[in-house]
DNA sequence: CACCTTGTTTACCACACTGC
DNA sequence: GCAGTGTGGTAAACAAGGTG
């Protein structure tokens, strides 16, 4: 077989199998340098063709997907191990802890050591313990909101988390949460335009960090949907300008890992406020807006 | 107080990515 | 396939905290 022939993988299933094979290799070899050409050889496709097919399958470029996997593993190690940040950076494939810290902060929105402190505060807290505190705060009375997010399955219990980000990239991301079966209300601060909504349904019997840090696949379901937010008066209230019913499914290997610390940070605020019997520190009007 | 370890930031460079 | 652009890489400087 020619190095870049790929002739036996031209069908869709074959392409997907090749991408899955590469992602599995990425996960096994996180600590090694994995340039585009090396990954393309595994498929085996030309670097140019591999790049295009990979992005179609995962919605991310190979380099970004690999970086996301590295950051996800780093988050897990920060939570479950006592390794130093320097050791973790080496274990997930960075030869410079400086690059690691910079990238971690860009992806997660917190530096590694700060993330470890927050994640450990929420470790051991079950999702079901958070539900009563979040119930009643899901839709704040009189608060304007952009959209209500429902799930297509009404019988699944748990904590619904929804994130919205502009389709054309951009760092901004808006998060919201609700206990099932209540819908999650996207805040009025989400600007008009084309967005992509991503939802997570956390199982009530699992630790809150299982899905948000560990990425344990049996601890949550995921869903995706395109969202068009129409132009309108941001201050009109109370207004639901759109209703989304999002199908959920098991997480797939081609799904990019969740990396933002925003839901973790907010749940921590909710849990601590709940135990103290008062409101969380987060801003009521747009409680889950990412930094 | 000096030194050491660990974590973060910054400047610059190589290469991956994107648009044509 | 090419060329411009942007992202991610390294190394080094700097900061913070702990210890003798």
Q: Is residue A82 part of a domain?
A: yes
Judge if A115 and A132 occupy the same domain: no
The protein footprint on chain B, as nucleotides within 7 A of a CB, is 6-11, 15-18
Judge if A75 and A179 occupy the same domain: no
A41 touches strand B (CB under 7 A): no
Output the pLDDT for position A20.
Answer: 83
Judge if A98 and A113 occupy the same domain: yes
A291 touches strand B (CB under 7 A): no
Instruction: Write out residues whose CB is closer than 7 A to strand C.
Output: A 46, 48, 63-64, 67, 94-99, 102-103, 106
- A168: nt with nearest C1' to CA: B18
Output the pLDDT for position A2.
Answer: 31
Output the pLDDT for position A276.
Answer: 40
Tell me the CA–C1' distance in angstroms for A48 and C2. Answer: 13
Tell me the CA–C1' distance in angstroms for A44 and C1. Answer: 20
Q: Is residue A4 part of a domain?
A: no
Output the pLDDT for position A27.
Answer: 82
Domain that holds residue A46: 9-121
The verdict on pTM exceeding 0.85 is no
C-alpha distances (whole Å) from A241 to each of A76, A92, A150, A237 are 38, 43, 14, 10
C-alpha span between A41 and A25 (Å, rounded): 12
C-alpha span between A246 and A148 (Å, rounded): 11
Judge if A212 and A109 occupy the same domain: no
Rg of the Cα atoms in chain A:
20
- Three-class SS of residue A288? strand
Output the pLDDT for position A40.
Answer: 77
Alpha helices in A178-222 (DSSP H): 208-209
Output the pLDDT for position A205.
Answer: 92
**Considering its fold, how many domains does chain A have in total?**
2
Output the pLDDT for position A255.
Answer: 82
- Three-class SS of residue A178? strand
Q: Is residue A135 part of a domain?
A: yes
Last-in-domain residue among A86, A121, A156: A121
Tell me the CA–C1' distance in angstroms for A178 and B11. Answer: 44
The protein footprint on chain C, as nucleotides within 7 A of a CB, is 1, 7-13
Judge if A61 and A151 occupy the same domain: no
Q: Is residue A1 part of a domain?
A: no
Last-in-domain residue among A103, A121, A139: A121
Q: Is residue A177 part of a domain?
A: yes
Q: Is residue A27 part of a domain?
A: yes
Q: Which residues pair with A178 in a beta bridge?
A: A160
Judge if A36 and A109 occupy the same domain: yes
- A101: nt with nearest C1' to CA: B8
Output the pLDDT for position A203.
Answer: 93
- A87: nt with nearest C1' to CA: B6
Q: CATH code at A229?
A: 2.60.40
* pLDDT tens for chain A, residues 1 to 291: 333 333 334 456 667 778 888 888 888 877 777 777 777 777 777 676 777 778 777 777 777 788 788 888 888 888 888 777 777 877 787 767 777 777 787 777 777 877 887 888 888 888 888 888 776 555 444 455 667 788 887 788 899 988 887 665 555 677 788 888 888 887 777 777 777 788 899 999 998 888 888 778 899 999 888 777 766 554 444 344 567 888 899 988 888 787 777 788 777 776 665 544 333 333 333 333 332
Q: What is A50-101 written as a DSSP string? A: HHHHHHHHHSS-HHHHHHHHHHHHHHHHHHH----HHHHHHHTT-S-HHHHH
C-alpha distances (whole Å) from A53 to each of A18, A40, A48, A50, A195 are 10, 10, 9, 5, 23
Q: Is residue A147 part of a domain?
A: yes
Judge if A208 and A274 occupy the same domain: yes
Tell me the CA–C1' distance in angstroms for A98 and B7. Answer: 9
Q: CATH code at A64?
A: 1.10.10.60
Q: Tokens 């802890």 appear where?
A: A97
Output the pLDDT for position A143.
Answer: 56
- Three-class SS of residue A135? coil
Asked if residue A204 lies in contact with residue A198, where contact means CB atoms within 8 angstroms, the answer is: no
Judge if A190 and A73 occupy the same domain: no
Tell me the CA–C1' distance in angstroms for A58 and B18. Answer: 17
């Amino acid at each position: 077989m020619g190095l870049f022939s790929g002739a036996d993988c031209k069908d869709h299933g074959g392409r997907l199998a090749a991408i899955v094979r590469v992602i599995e290799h990425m996960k096994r070899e996180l600590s090694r340098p994995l340039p585009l050409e090396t990954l393309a050889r595994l498929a085996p496709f030309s670097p140019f063709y591999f790049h295009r097919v990979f992005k179609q399958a995962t919605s991310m470029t190979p380099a970004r997907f690999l970086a996301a996997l590295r950051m996800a593993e780093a988050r897990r190690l920060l939570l479950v191990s006592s390794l130093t940040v320097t050791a973790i950076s080496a274990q997930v494939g960075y030869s410079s802890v400086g690059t690691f810290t910079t990238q971690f902060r860009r992806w997660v929105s917190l530096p590694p050591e700060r993330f470890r402190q927050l994640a450990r505060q929420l470790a051991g807290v079950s999702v079901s313990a958070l539900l009563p505190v979040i119930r009643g705060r899901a839709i704040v009375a009189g608060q304007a909101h952009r959209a209500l997010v429902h799930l297509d399955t009404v019988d699944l219990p748990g904590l619904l988390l929804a994130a919205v980000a502009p389709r054309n990239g951009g760092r901004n991301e808006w998060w919201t949460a609700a206990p099932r079966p209540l819908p999650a209300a996207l805040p009025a601060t989400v600007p008009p335009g084309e967005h992509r909504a991503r939802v997570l349904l956390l199982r009530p019997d699992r630790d809150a960090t299982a899905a948000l840090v560990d990425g344990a696949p049996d601890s949550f379901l995921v869903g995706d949907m395109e969202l068009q937010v129409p132009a309108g008066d941001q201050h009109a209230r109370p207004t639901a300008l759109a209703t989304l019913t999002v199908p959920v499914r098991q997480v797939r290997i081609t799904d990019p890992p969740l990396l933002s610390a925003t839901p973790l940070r907010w749940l921590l605020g909710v849990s601590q406020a709940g135990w103290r019997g008062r409101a969380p520190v987060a801003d009521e009007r747009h409680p889950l807006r990412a930094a």
